[in-house]
Amino acid sequence: MRFARGFSLIEVMVVVAIVGLLAVIAYPSYQGHIRKGARASAQAEMMKIADRQAQYLLDARTYAVGSGALTALNISLPTDVSAKYTVTITAADGTDTPSTPPSYTIRATPVTGNAQVPDGELTLTHAGMKTRAGNPGW
């Protein structure tokens, strides 16, 4: 008499079902961690921009604002940030012209259709106030 070796079809199907269930549970958590990592990268770049703004203020007596602000500050965003966020620098009143007294707001707006959209817009002002989706703090 020969003994059958290997797994039965039912055993294989049970294992596949368990692996599928674990994947369904783990994938949203994984996406959340990826989103948090991208947000942390954007926040770090925003802090870097704020540091450069402080240096620029000492030299120019105003902050760099408008479409050429990142160029004036000699900053190029890393691809992991620029692929997920659009970073702009405006005066605190929302215009692209320097204000008196000097002020700025750095905005990182998620690119439409991106996984970062649920996070909302990140902002950092010249006074150090941080918001995420309009709520205080990051």
Q: What pLDDT digit, counting tens, does each position of 43-87 carry?
A: 999 999 999 999 999 999 999 999 999 999 999 999 999 999 999
User: Tell me: domain 9-136, CATH 3.30.540.20, correct?
Assistant: yes
Report the C-alpha gap between 126 and 53 in whole angstroms: 8
Q: What does the mean pLDDT of the chain come to?
A: 92
Q: What is the pLDDT of residue 34?
A: 94
Confidence of residue 1 (pLDDT cuts 50, 70, 90): low
Judged by DSSP in three states, 83 sits in coil
Residue 77 and residue 85: Cα distance in Å, rounded?
10
Rounded Cα–Cα distance for residues 19 and 126 (Å): 49
